[in-house]
Structure 1
Amino acid sequence: MDQSQIEFRNVSFRYQEDMPWVLRNVSFTIGADEWVAIIGHNGSGKSTIAKLMNGLLFPQEGKILVDGEEVTQDTLWEIRKRVGMVFQNPDNQFVGTTVRDDVAFGMENHGMPREVMIKRIKESLNAVGMTEFERHEPHRLSGGQKQRVAIASVLAVSPRYIILDEATAMLDPKGRKEILKTIRTVQDERELSLITITHDLQEVTQAERVIVMNGGEVWMQGTPRDIFSKKESLIEIGLDTPFVSKLADHMKDAGLELSREPLNHQELLEELWTSRSTK
């Protein structure tokens, strides 16, 4: 039986005994090769979930299983080979004097043979379009380039799951778009699962499934189309919806019939075209 998944079983967590619970009885599963976006307002527990998946934190109640193996102090190094993490600020992940050194760092920690490291450095930098920057100093790169190197560093360890914790938050729209394109390409080529913790609605629309957190609990799960069709409920818990989704609502109010909730401009145009051609 294939156990390739991350599973939260009734997980509760708080940072100190006298503090309120950040997560309460959280259960969900993320399957192999799946892209799941986890969203919620600040303080909803989504970044805590990311740290629990990677063993940076441990729950007080419940279990977290990665490919059937529980995340504990004893399994930590094995878990981190399978679950890679890219943070919001790539500067916090840089330790080497060159891009090459940085990509090698995680592999050195796992004691990989030199010939394997050399091969994976090339493959990982190529996957994110940063081969020509191998000898560059990381601090001289642009924000988008730094984030690509951070992704390459995680890829080099060859994980099954990659968590991006607000990984595009510090980028401008162009950089964000490029990173999302890189992520999509990498997922298709490497057959890995992506977990994105994000406020970026455009990023959410590209995921296959969305987990909405509210008050430390799983409030809703579904496809992006399912989730964004419940605009009023999302607004009530302090979340926004994509501009295209709002525009579609105005069109419905004006009497236009739409067959589905559009997720991007292309889908909205298709709905308008269909609506006009049927009249």
Structure 2
Amino acid sequence: MKKKLIEFRNVSFRYTDEGPWVLKNVSFDIYDNEWVAIIGHNGSGKSTIAKLMNGLLFPQEGEILIDGQAVNEETVWNIRRDVGMVFQNPDNQFVGTTVQDDVAFGMENRGFPREVMVHRIRKSLHAVGMEDYLLAEPYRLSGGQKQRVAIAGVLAISPHVLILDEATSMLDPRGRLEIMDTVQSIQKEHDLSLITITHDLNEVVQAERVIVMNKGEIWREATPKEIFSESAALRKIGLDVPFTTIMADELRKCQIPIENEPLNHEELLEELWTLHSKM
């Protein structure tokens, strides 16, 4: 049985006392070494969830536990040792004049010994393929390189949870693929729980579980296959579905009995080949 790492217990949140509720009575669990994608239209509450996990915000109602510890103003700095976050725009996270200074920043704030910092800077930059940019100025890097450095800065503090809050949305398709390949290998090597807040369907289909937010509430919580099997309902709440899901729906309309929900081209071709072999 996997260990619960993050627990949301009847969490509600709004930004002002008189404003609308952004989250309404939200409850879910995330486990050790699990990849969960959180999706939803703009304003659905998904990015607010990320900020609550990291202690950037606190709920007005309900409780959030990280590894059994309640998130509040007294525990927030302990929580941030366990929960690392990478934002949409990496420029907002840079504080150092060089890449190594930037990766060192989080460790300096936590009082890491210098010899530990030197080792972790090189190790985390190696993990994201940026070890040759140690003395580079962050603002001179490409968008994908900046995100790699931002991820390295989070990895250096050895978190248990890595949150990517729309972290690939400013990159081109190739850059997105490269970053997610890097993150996947990091997750496996470091036994991290990975939470992606995303609009990128390629990220969604690779996750183990998907939480769909709609109007501040959990609309569905299931595997990617189960979520995308409800393509019409997803479109109704303003969400896209993968191209292979659209193709499978069209084939079914043509009386081609696609039984399983394919998540990528390979799975769709496998379905068609299986059908062909039965004829």
- Give the TM-score band, short-chain normalised: over 0.9
2:151 corresponding residue in structure 1: 151
Q: How does 1:74-223 map to 2 (within 5 A)?
A: 74-223=74-223
The alpha carbon displacement at 1:257 in A equals 1.7
Amino acid at match of 1:136: A
Amino acid at match of 1:51: K
CA distance in 2, matches of 1:77, 1:113: 18
Would the aligned equivalents of 1:88 and 1:166 in 2 still touch at CA under 8 Å? yes
CA distance in 2, matches of 1:2, 1:34: 9
2:55 corresponding residue in structure 1: 55
Would the aligned equivalents of 1:3 and 1:68 in 2 still touch at CA under 8 Å? no
Q: Structure 1: 5+ residue runs without aligned partners?
A: none
SS at match of 1:139: helix
Would the aligned equivalents of 1:125 and 1:152 in 2 still touch at CA under 8 Å? yes
CA distance in 1, matches of 2:56, 2:141: 28
* Distance change (3 Å), C-alpha of 1:228 and 1:2: closer
Is the aligned partner of 1:248 residue 2:248? yes
Report runs of 4+ in structure 1 exceeding 2 Å deviation. Answer: 1-4
SS at match of 1:112: coil
SS at match of 2:12: strand
- Identity level (%): 67
Would the aligned equivalents of 1:138 and 1:146 in 2 still touch at CA under 8 Å? yes
2:35 corresponding residue in structure 1: 35
The alpha carbon displacement at 1:3 in A equals 5.2
CA distance in 1, matches of 2:141, 2:278: 52
Amino acid at match of 1:8: F
SS at match of 2:85: strand
TM-score norm. by structure 1 comes to: 0.98
Deviations 1:149-173 (A, max 9, x none): 0000000000000110000000000
Q: State the aligned residue count.
A: 279
CA distance in 2, matches of 1:244, 1:87: 29
Q: How does 1:219-230 map to 2 (within 5 A)?
A: 219-230=219-230
CA distance in 1, matches of 2:135, 2:277: 56
Would the aligned equivalents of 2:5 and 2:30 in 1 still touch at CA under 8 Å? yes
SS at match of 1:12: strand
Deviations 1:62-100 (A, max 9, x none): 000000000011101110000000000001001101110
Deviations 1:89-129 (A, max 9, x none): 00100110111001000000111111111111111011111
